[in-house]
């Protein structure tokens, strides 16, 4: 079959798989091996309102539902709503009971666990941080991050000494938009009770919000932003994930030494700081290894997957490299479908998603992706054992690095009697500072980056995810 004939078929297959893969019932029945990937709901908090939504509606410590759910989760939703009503009325004992019941009905709900721990604090003084996530644009990724935050908060509060301050967490929805991120950052920066922020998710949101946090001397630790632009961006910005500099070199090295290929075609999003960063770093790393990027295709323009793939082949590309951000993941998956495993494929960490397995299917098999951490590569970790017990399934790298970010804040809180924003920044900037938790030891360089290796994973047939294919570590 020619590529011209293949394109309509691939589009039809992709559309059908998206409809099936996006079903609420499908996702509500299982937590994927990607870190207990959560069921996308029909709406997320204030979905559709975007940057225009009222500032107050972006935040909740327990007084507002940000992640409404329906269908199979109706019972837990009803109990969570009752807990929210009690929390808003400052009836904290009732809120505790309702949130606990909601978690009993649905144990992998991080919003309910965060609200439960906040309700247990009640009116008592607490050590307060916020978690900024893109609930409107990437609900699944947001829930993965929230699980890491909820688990770290739960453990810190359970282990706290009598009379010491517990950890309170405020959830903030930045909608995955620059304007939303700036709105969230301004509100958090103006609240003196907030001593740190976990987030934002994408590099674009972190860059936009980071300027505001810096002006107000508020520490931000991103568990998922990897753009090299964040290195040395500010003394108040840190991250618990390696930069694209590390990931790009791991992928380029794999291509040259393991795949034994030197000519690549790269697909990226020119409107994403993350995608641009990874593309640039990969090109540099590949050239240093004797290879070459022959073609670059921008997924954000009038992109034609079939003609782009044909051009890459005519140019002599031996490997396809997919660096989409989550917004344009579907376009990258279409390239994957059309390729049908004819050329080897490499990818960035945004391809590490349930949709890659459910939609990519057999076409994704053998693809190699660079991620910060994988659960199967760390079978004896206490974090892995505790997360499985808490959530009833496996967690992924976003959960682990979000857990690490909270552990950094609590590591300072455990040793400081009089916490302040200035104290937090000074502690994290100290060359002697480190914590060991979650995905390993967290130690920051002077650039604010984390010193950590990258884990390469590949797609293989398997049953752990429920899609027929799994991400598994490469040796």
196-254: pLDDT as tens digits: 999 999 999 999 999 999 999 999 999 999 999 999 999 999 999 999 999 999 999 99
Residue 448 located in a structural domain: no
d(CA 385, CA 438): 11
User: What is the model's pLDDT at position 282?
Assistant: 98
Q: Looking at residues 449-460, what average pLDDT do you find?
A: 94
Indicate the number of domains in the chain: 2
Of 85, 157, 155, residue with least CA distance to 120: 157
Q: What share of the chain is helix, strand, coil (3-state, %, to 5)?
A: 50, 15, 35
User: What is the model's pLDDT at position 75?
Assistant: 72
Residues 6+ apart with CB under 8 A from 111: 65, 66, 67, 80, 146, 150, 171
Residues 6+ apart with CB under 8 A from 289: 252, 253, 255, 256, 257, 262
The confidence band for 3, taking pLDDT boundaries of 50, 70 and 90, is very low
Looking at the predicted structure, is the pLDDT value of residue 474 above 50?
A: yes
Q: Looking at residues 147-175, what average pLDDT do you find?
A: 95
- Lowest mean pLDDT, pick from 96-100, 214-218, 450-454: 450-454
29 dihedral zone (left: phi>0; alpha: psi -120 to 50; beta): alpha
Same domain flag for 141 and 192: yes
Looking at the predicted structure, is the pLDDT value of residue 55 above 90?
A: no
CATH of the domain at 224: 3.40.50.2300
Residue 447 located in a structural domain: no
Domain residue limits at 20: 3-24+244-371+455-473
Q: Looking at residues 280-303, what average pLDDT do you find?
A: 96
Same domain flag for 69 and 191: yes
User: What is the model's pLDDT at position 18?
Assistant: 41
Same domain flag for 142 and 158: yes
Could you give the C-alpha distances from 75 to 105, 134, 141, 150, in angstroms and in order? 7, 25, 24, 21
Name which residue leads in pLDDT, 298 or 40: 298
User: What is the model's pLDDT at position 53?
Assistant: 65
Residue 118 located in a structural domain: yes
d(CA 358, CA 350): 15
Same domain flag for 250 and 346: yes
Take residue 292 and report the two structure tokens written for it. 């070459």
Looking at the predicted structure, is the pLDDT value of residue 7 above 50?
A: no
User: What is the model's pLDDT at position 128?
Assistant: 97
d(CA 164, CA 124): 10
d(CA 255, CA 242): 20
CA atoms within 13 A on the CB side of 90: 2
Same domain flag for 281 and 429: no
Same domain flag for 99 and 81: yes
Same domain flag for 151 and 203: yes
Take residue 380 and report the two structure tokens written for it. 């004896």
For the chain, the average pLDDT equals 88
């Amino acid at each position: 079959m020619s590529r011209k004939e293949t394109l309509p078929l691939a589009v039809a297959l992709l559309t059908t798989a998206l409809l099936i893969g996006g079903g609420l019932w499908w996702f509500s029945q299982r937590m994927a091996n990607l870190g207990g990937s959560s069921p996308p709901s029909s709406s997320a908090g204030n979905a559709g309102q975007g940057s225009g939504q009222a500032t107050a509606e972006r935040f909740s410590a327990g007084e507002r539902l940000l992640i409404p759910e329906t269908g199979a989760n109706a019972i837990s939703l009803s109990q969570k709503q009752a807990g929210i009503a009690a929390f808003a009325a400052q009836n904290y004992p009732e809120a505790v009971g309702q949130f606990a019941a909601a978690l009993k009905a649905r144990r992998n709900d991080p919003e309910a666990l965060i609200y439960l721990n906040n309700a247990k604090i009640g009116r008592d003084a607490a050590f307060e941080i916020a978690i900024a996530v893109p609930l409107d644009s990437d609900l699944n990724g947001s829930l993965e991050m929230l699980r890491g935050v909820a688990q770290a908060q739960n453990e810190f509060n359970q282990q706290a000494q009598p009379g010491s301050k517990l950890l309170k967490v405020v959830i903030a929805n930045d909608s995955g938009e620059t304007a939303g991120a700036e709105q969230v950052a301004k509100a958090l920066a103006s609240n003196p009770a907030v001593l740190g922020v976990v987030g934002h998710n994408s590099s674009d949101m972190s860059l936009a919000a980071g300027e505001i946090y810096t002006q107000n001397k508020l520490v931000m630790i991103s568990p998922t932003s990897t753009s090299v632009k964040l290195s040395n961006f500010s003394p108040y910005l840190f991250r618990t994930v390696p930069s694209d500099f590390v990931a790009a070199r791991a992928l380029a090295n794999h291509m040259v030494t393991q795949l034994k290929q030197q000519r690549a075609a790269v697909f990226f999003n020119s409107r994403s700081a993350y995608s641009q960063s990874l593309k640039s770093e990969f090109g540099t790393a590949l050239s240093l290894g004797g290879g070459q990027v022959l073609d670059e295709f921008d997924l954000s323009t009038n992109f034609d997957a079939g003609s782009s793939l044909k051009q890459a082949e005519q140019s002599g590309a031996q490997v396809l490299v997919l660096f989409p951000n989550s917004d344009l993941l579907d376009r990258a998956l279409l390239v994957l479908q059309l390729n049908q495993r004819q050329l080897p494929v490499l990818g960035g960490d945004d391809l590490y998603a349930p949709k890659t397995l459910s939609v990519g299917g057999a076409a994704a098999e053998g693809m190699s992706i660079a991620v910060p951490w994988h659960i199967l590569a760390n079978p004896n970790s206490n974090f892995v054992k505790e997360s499985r017990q808490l959530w009833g399934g496996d967690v992924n790298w976003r959960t682990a690095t979000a857990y690490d970010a909270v552990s950094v804040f609590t590591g300072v809180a455990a040793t400081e009697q009089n916490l302040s924003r200035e104290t937090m920044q000074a502690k994290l900037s100290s060359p002697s500072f480190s914590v060991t938790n979650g995905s390993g030891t967290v130690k920051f360089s002077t650039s604010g980056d984390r010193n950590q290796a990258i884990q390469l994973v590949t797609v293989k047939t398997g049953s752990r995810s429920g899609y027929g294919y799994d991400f598994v570590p490469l040796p």
